[in-house]
């Protein structure tokens, strides 16, 4: 008999591996209230005050509930400019969980990118990644570099039920690195070599591909390719623990290994990482760079001082570093991860059973609705995923986010809308925040909208900002 998959009946654990000690009251608004509120913000859920939202699935970033141990850490945190005890606690936690000796704290993940890329990326450089997260791409481009996405084709197929859709395409990586201008020791530069590649990044889990994991075999092989070409390899490690747990669940040979060991093996293949503590650091603010190479560390600290602060606090209070140190230890707990991955999978399964079209398999931090299958009659020029996002709010006070044409923006050359392959609504699940009943409300909301999908109307812009339009755009109903 097959053992139950994450989120299926019989999946362990039966319930949350924590009790609730502090609560935050949330209020369920009425439908007429929501009609008024959404109209006031121009049918853009980014404009809503969080108090007007019943279940907020806008993001899993910085929205985790901290544990009692983390809250206690806030009192123990030591507020010193130089040499804070909490910095050393963070350094120990990073060494213990990830195996890196050197740490530079930063105020969040993109700040870590800013410091590391300012150190390593020069104009004209090319940075390969499985798939760049938005801020990662923006920081590479800000340095005058080109961000190259080399994820496997599988990542673009919304229904391919494959275990590791976040993998980097090894063949493309090999071919890209073979075009390096700098000759690898003992070889002549390849004819026509035209790329300058300071390092390769792999994002775990692959956020922009729906939180899909990367396999250990893929990391190992990518590391071997990078080493052969003498190019450093870094992880964008925002969701490293969720990735490690997927390896345990899905990769042959890892079922009986401890997640802590799996995470250490993942990091053993790379030279360092950038980290957003707002994800698998289980904190509301914080991040860091972790490294092995003292020379890169020395160069990066110069920029860290300029952008973030002295390298023993990096834009954080001592208490923030203390909470992040404790979060890193907690996030590799297997009961927690089984709950986390199972919780997200539970929502996916509930939606599927209700006939709601979703992207499969469900990733680590969010469930994505497939708006093109949900609303096949709405033309893409009427922003079906945005219309669906608005409707989920109206129906149940649930806030998701559009990942589709509104987000993709316009082609700078032609001024035309860019239509991405997928039109999605992301329902990101904050860590340790909502119960299964909340997820049942979310699934019920989606099901009710599905039942009356024939009545849904599309949207048109009334205000369209030239860049990053999704945050502040306003719409009207057609």
Q: Of 43, 87, 117, 133, which residue is the catalytic one?
A: 133
**Contacts from 292-300 at CB under 8 Å and sequence distance 24+?**
292/100, 292/101, 292/102, 293/102, 293/232, 294/102, 296/119, 296/120, 296/271, 296/272, 297/102, 297/104, 299/119, 300/104, 300/115, 300/116, 300/119
Does the active-site annotation cover 343? no
Binding to ligand PLP by CB under 6 A, coded x per residue (else -) over 285-314, reads --x---------------------------
H/E/C letters for each residue in 408-422? HCECCCCCCECCCCC
C-alpha–C-alpha distance, residues 175 and 331, integer Å: 36
Query: Is 134 a catalytic site residue?
Result: yes
Position among 67, 108, 119, 350 found at the interface with ligand PLP (CB under 6 A) = 108
Told to check if 215 binds ligand PLP by CB under 6 A, we report no
Residue 70 or 243 with smaller CB distance to ligand PLP: 243
> Between 77 and 109, whose beta carbon lies closer to ligand PLP?
109
List binders of ligand PLP among 228-247 (CB under 6 A).
236, 238
Query: Is 271 annotated in the active site?
Result: no
Taking CB under 6 A as the rule, does residue 212 contact ligand PLP? Answer: no
Q: Is 207 in the site for ligand PLP (CB under 6 A)?
A: yes
DSSP alpha helices (H): ranges in 18-77? 31-40, 68-76
Q: Which of 223, 229, 219, 224 is nearest to 179 (CA)?
A: 229
A 10 A CB-CB count for 3 gives 9
Edge-first strand order for the sheet with 272-276 is: 102-106, 287-291, 272-276, 233-236, 200-203
Compose the 42-81 pattern: x for residues touching ligand PLP by CB under 6 A, - for all others: -------------------x--------------------
In DSSP notation, 210-254 reads: TSB---HHHHHHHHHHHHHTT--EEEE-TTHHHHHHHHHHHSTT-
Instruction: By CB under 6 A, tell whether 135 contacts ligand PLP.
Output: yes
Least distance in Å: CB of 432 to ligand PLP? 18
* Closer to ligand PLP by Cβ: residue 110 or 143: 110
CA distance 130 to 173: 9
Residues 146-205 that bind ligand PLP (CB under 6 A): 203
When binding is defined by CB under 6 A, the residue of 7, 73, 77, 109 that contacts ligand PLP is: 109
Rounded to whole angstroms, the Cα distance separating 273 from 328 reads 14
**Residue from 279, 300, 336, 366 carrying the catalytic annotation:** 279
- Give 206 or 406: the residue with its C-beta nearer to ligand PLP: 206
Residue 238 appears among annotated catalytic residues:
yes
Q: Total residues contacting ligand PLP (rule CB under 6 A)? A: 15
Active site (catalytic) residues: 81, 133-134, 236, 238, 279, 470
Residues that bind ligand PLP in the complex, under the rule CB under 6 A:
61, 108-110, 133, 135-136, 203, 207, 236, 238, 276, 278-279, 287
């Amino acid at each position: 008999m097959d053992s139950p998959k994450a989120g299926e009946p019989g999946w362990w654990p039966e319930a949350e591996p924590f009790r609730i000690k502090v609560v935050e009251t949330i209020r369920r608004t009425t439908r007429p209230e929501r009609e008024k509120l959404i109209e006031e913000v121009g049918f853009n859920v980014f404009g809503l005050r969080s108090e007007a939202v019943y279940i907020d699935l806008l993001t899993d970033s910085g929205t985790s509930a901290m544990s009692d141990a983390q809250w206690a850490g806030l009192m123990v945190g030591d507020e010193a400019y130089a040499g804070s005890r909490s910095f050393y606690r963070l350094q120990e936690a990073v060494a213990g969980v990830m195996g890196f000796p050197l740490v530079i704290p930063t105020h969040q993940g993109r700040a870590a990118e800013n410091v590391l890329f300012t150190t390593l990326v020069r104009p004209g450089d090319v940075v390969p990644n499985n798939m760049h997260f938005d801020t990662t791409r923006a920081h590479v481009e800000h340095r005058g570099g080109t961000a190259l996405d080399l994820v496997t084709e599988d990542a673009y197929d919304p229904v391919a039920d494959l275990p590791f859709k976040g993998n980097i395409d090894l063949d493309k990586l090999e071919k890209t690195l073979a075009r390096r201008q700098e000759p690898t020791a003992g070889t002549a530069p390849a004819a026509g070599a035209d790329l300058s590649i300071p390092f390769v990044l792999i994002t775990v889990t692959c956020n922009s591909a729906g939180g899909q994991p990367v396999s250990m075999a893929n990391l190992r092989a990518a590391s071997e390719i990078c080493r052969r070409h003498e190019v450093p390899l870094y992880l964008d490690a925002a969701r490293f623990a969720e990735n490690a747990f997927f390896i345990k669940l899905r990769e042959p040979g890892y079922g009986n290994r401890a997640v802590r060991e799996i995470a250490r093996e993942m990091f053993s293949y790379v030279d360092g990482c950038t980290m957003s503590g707002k994800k698998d650091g289980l904190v509301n603010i914080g991040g860091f760079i972790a490294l092995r190479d003292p020379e890169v560390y020395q160069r990066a600290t110069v920029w860290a001082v300029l952008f973030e602060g002295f390298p023993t606090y990096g834009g954080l209070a001592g208490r923030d570093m203390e909470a992040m140190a404790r979060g890193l230890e907690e996030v590799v707990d297997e009961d927690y991860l089984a709950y986390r991955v199972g919780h997200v999978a539970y929502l996916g399964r509930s939606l599927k059973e209700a006939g709601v079209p979703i992207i499969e398999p469900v990733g680590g931090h969010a469930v994505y609705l497939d708006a093109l299958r949900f609303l096949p009659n709405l033309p893409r020029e009427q922003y079906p995923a945005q219309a669906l996002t608005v409707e989920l709010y109206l129906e149940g006070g649930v806030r998701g986010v559009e990942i589709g044409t509104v987000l993709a923006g316009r082609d700078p050359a032609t001024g035309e809308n860019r239509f991405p392959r997928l039109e999605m609504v992301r329902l990101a699940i904050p860590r340790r925040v909502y119960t299964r009943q909340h997820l049942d409300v979310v699934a019920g909301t989606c099901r009710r909208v599905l039942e009356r999908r024939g009545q849904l109307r599309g949207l048109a812009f009334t205000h369209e900002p030239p860049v990053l339009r999704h945050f502040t755009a306003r719409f009207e109903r057609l």
